[in-house]
């Protein structure tokens, strides 16, 4: 019983270190090859889209519809985050019982009162971060909509192409952060069933992220 707490904390530290090393590798790889990352590619696409809308002067409806779809997607994800926060709090006692039923020898041994609160708190915090990121994405998508329409219809309004691109890319970045928070919740959920499940889920997640982060 006394060794279960350090094992869980060591597993969490190893999982965090693996994710940190992956993002350090991704940053290093992107600096060496800017076309490697899909995030850099997405930023280029958004900037090209803003330029197309601004120069054509006849695509206001397309711009509004595209940004509306982005706002609706971020709004749906933000609402999902709230539901997951409430669900995590309401089902906390049931998750412990399920863990005991599936892994009676290992799961319950690591479920001291303090550790259980840490696991549940980190999961709720992860969903809260996702909610914050998606709401910020909605905010910047709305601002970008006004700015892009000004570029197309009133260039003298004082809004530059670089500012519009910056707002749109910031919205896209927040949406990505929120989605990544959802991904990171999977290892945290499996952590309820033992430290080894946490490390294994982290390795699988990193392999999936590496595939997703590569540019097409």
Q: What percent of the chain has pLDDT over 70?
A: 81
pLDDT at 105: 52
- How confident is the model over 118-155, as pLDDT tens digits? 888 899 999 999 999 999 999 999 988 888 877 765 65
Cα-atom radius of gyration of the chain, to the nearest Å?
21
Q: How far is CA 106 from CA 3, 5, 121, 133, in A?
A: 12, 12, 21, 35
pTM: 0.84
Look up tokens 């906390």; give the residue: 92
pLDDT at 110: 45
SS3 string, the chain, reads CCCHHHHHHHHHHHHHHHHHHHHHHHHHHHHHCCCCEHHHHHHHHHHHHHHHHHHHCCCHHHHHHHHHHHHHHHHHHHHHHHHHHHHHHHCHHHHHHHHHHHCCCCCHHHCCHHHHHHHHHHHHHHHHHHHHHHHHHHHHHHHHHHHHHHHHHCHHHCCCHHHHHHHHHHHHHHHHHHHHHHHHHHHHHHHHHCHHHHHHHHHHHHHHHHHHHECC
DSSP 177-197: HHHHHHHHHHHHHHGGG-HHH
- How confident is the model over 25-47, as pLDDT tens digits? 999 998 898 888 899 899 999 98
pLDDT at 83: 94
Task: Quote the CA–CA distance of 176 and 164 in Å, as a whole number.
Answer: 19
Domain boundaries, the chain: 4-213
Q: Which residues contact 210 (CB under 8 A, 6 or more apart)?
A: 22
User: If you average pLDDT over every residue of the chain, what do you get?
Assistant: 84
pLDDT band at 163 (very low <50, low <70, confident <90, very high): confident
Both tokens of 74, joined, read 């971020």
- How confident is the model over 78-125, as pLDDT tens digits? 999 999 999 888 877 666 566 555 555 554 444 455 677 788 889 999
Q: Which of 38-42, 115-119, 187-191, 204-208 has the lowest mean pLDDT?
A: 115-119
**Left (φ > 0), alpha (ψ -120 to 50) or beta: where does 142 sit?**
alpha
Both tokens of 130, joined, read 């996702």
pLDDT at 55: 77
pLDDT at 72: 95
> How many residues are present in the chain?
216
Residue 170 has pLDDT above 70, yes or no: yes
Mean pLDDT, residues 47-54? 85
């Amino acid at each position: 019983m006394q060794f279960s707490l350090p094992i869980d904390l060591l597993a969490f530290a190893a999982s965090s270190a693996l994710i940190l090393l992956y993002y350090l590798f991704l940053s290093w790889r992107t600096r060496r090859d800017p076309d490697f990352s899909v995030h850099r590619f997405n930023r280029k696409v958004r900037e090209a889209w803003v330029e197309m809308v601004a120069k054509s002067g006849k695509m206001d409806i397309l711009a509004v519809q595209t940004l509306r779809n982005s706002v609706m997607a971020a709004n749906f994800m933000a609402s999902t985050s709230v539901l997951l926060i409430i669900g995590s709090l309401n089902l906390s006692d049931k998750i412990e019982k399920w863990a005991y039923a599936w892994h009676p020898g290992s799961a319950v041994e690591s479920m001291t009162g303090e550790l259980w609160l840490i696991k549940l708190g980190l999961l709720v915090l992860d969903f809260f971060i996702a909610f914050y990121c998606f709401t910020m994405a909605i905010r910047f998508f709305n601002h970008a909509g006004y700015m892009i329409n000004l570029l197309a219809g009133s260039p003298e309004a004082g809004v530059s192409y670089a500012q519009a691109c910056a707002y749109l890319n910031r919205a896209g970045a927040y949406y990505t952060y929120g989605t990544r928070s959802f991904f990171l919740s999977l290892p945290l959920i499996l952590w309820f069933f033992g430290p080894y499940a946490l490390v294994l889920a982290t390795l699988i997640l990193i392999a999936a992220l590496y595939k997703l982060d590569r540019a097409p």
